Amino acid sequence: MLSCLTQPNTGKWHSSLSFKILFIIFVSALIFLIPSFKYLFPFMILIWQIFFILRKNRDHRRFLFKWVLIALFLRFAFLFIVQFVPAKYHEPPFFFLDDKSYHSWSENIAERWHQGERPRVWTDAEIGTLQTGYYYFVSGIYYVFGSYPFLPLFLNPFVGALLCILIFRLAQILLNDNIKTKAVILVACNPVFWFWSSFVLKDTLLTLFFILTLLLYLEYRLSRSALYLFFFCLVSYFLALLRIHSLFAIILTILVYEMMISTRKKKVLVFCFVSIVIALAGRYFILVRDIEDQIVYSFLNALPDAGRTHLGALKYIIKGIPRLFLAPYAWVFADYFTPQYFLYPGQWFLYLYVLPFAISGAVQIVKENRMICIFLLFPIIVKGFLYLMVLSGSAQRHMVELMPLITLLAAYGYGTKKRLTQKFMILYFGCLTAFMLVQFAGIVLGK
């Protein structure tokens, strides 16, 4: 499959070059004249890509429709359990973490829009972040339909269900036909995705656009179409608004891949050098400098004091490694009606099924010396390292955008029909049991 990324596809679905150029100019002019259009167009690209995948895979349409509906049903069922079963203990929606902030600020922004104000959300002292994409998303819904948190909440399952179609195409490009259907089923049935679809949080939308951004680059590698490159740039901008370091992980992955396989390595190096020069030159402009400072600050501010020395950072990383994928929650003594309680089905599905096969699939791909594994492993390594540094491995919510890549590895490990060795299974589940016992002992002693 690696060769397909280096050979242009000249299929009939391509339009003429002149039409593509005119279309790019038209959309660019539209964004310039109507700035809010840059927030809408990524969703139009998403819809276009979904239709393209369905058109290209006529033989699998029924399969995809079926599993999208199953995924939708499972997400809605889980959402109603989370939000309405414990209704006598709280008023729905079940706010926790950042979802109350997303609702209150988006309500405020939508109201100011109705009053004719156009606040620059990222400069607001109280929000104080460049990652304003989800604020704009929820504000747009509230502006049109009213400030009802159930609207973005009920939209999450639809967004999550569409991930099945993107994963199908991603597996089709990176792996093989034997894997893509298994990957769809794993994504549809993974309770981790159900859980994060059940709150007014950006993680479901972020996961979808993280995969879409990566997929658009791969489509560009297949087709060499300027249109795909343009779409990649627009969606990358929206991904940066959702979470900056998610785009950073994708860009770094692309640069590594291009440096390893491209015949134009000098051009890639020149591109990196020019980007650095532009970033440094931008320091002379107040707006650019403020943006760059905020990006840097968002990383440095997240580092704990213990991790700012060489020895402290090493201890911090080692401590976080076993907790990177295993939630360090007090699952034994958790109160019933807490968000953590509802995460457990997804975590156990991850512990007992996904991770063993994902590790097996990753090892198999590396052994086969496949360059393509860069797209599956490198983003996990980059973001895993970041979360080890800033969260000591406790990054279950933030790692959800990498779950589709982990799922693809698991589907590959399962689909290749190579059984996990007895030695590997003993080692894996022995470590899992040890982790549980140590944490349980810590809980008991802590009481």
Q: What is the pLDDT along the chain (447 residues), one digit of tens a residue?
A: 554 565 545 444 444 767 778 878 888 888 888 877 888 899 999 999 999 999 999 999 999 999 999 999 999 999 988 887 765 566 777 777 788 888 888 888 888 888 887 776 665 555 556 678 888 899 889 999 988 989 999 999 999 999 999 999 999 999 877 788 999 999 999 999 998 898 898 999 999 999 999 999 999 988 888 889 999 999 998 998 888 888 888 998 998 888 887 677 777 777 777 777 776 676 676 656 666 666 666 555 555 555 556 676 677 777 777 777 766 554 544 555 566 677 778 888 888 889 888 988 888 888 876 677 889 998 988 888 777 777 666 777 788 899 999 999 999 888 766 667 778 888 888 888 887 777 777 666 665
Torsion of CA 221, 222, 226, 231, to 10 degrees: -80
Q: Are 141 and 151 in contact (CB under 8 A)?
A: yes
What is the predicted pLDDT for the residue at 438? 76
19-65 pLDDT, tens digit each: 778 878 888 888 888 877 888 899 999 999 999 999 999 999 999 99
Q: Phi first, then psi: what are they for 371, rounded to 5°? A: -60, -25
Q: Are 68 and 53 in contact (CB under 8 A)?
A: no
Q: Residues near 24 by Cβ (< 8 Å), separated by ≥ 6?
A: 226, 227, 230
- pLDDT, averaged across the chain: 80
What is the predicted pLDDT for the residue at 436? 77
Distance of alpha carbon 378 from alpha carbon 400, whole angstroms: 16
Say whether 302 sits in a helix, a strand or coil. Answer: coil
Torsion of CA 57, 62, 65, 70, to 10 degrees: -130
Domain ranges of the chain: 2-6+40-93+149-446, 98-148
Cβ neighbour number for residue 39 with a 10 Å cutoff: 17
Burial zone of 302 (CB within 10 Å; 0-12 exposed, 13-18 middle, 19+ buried): middle
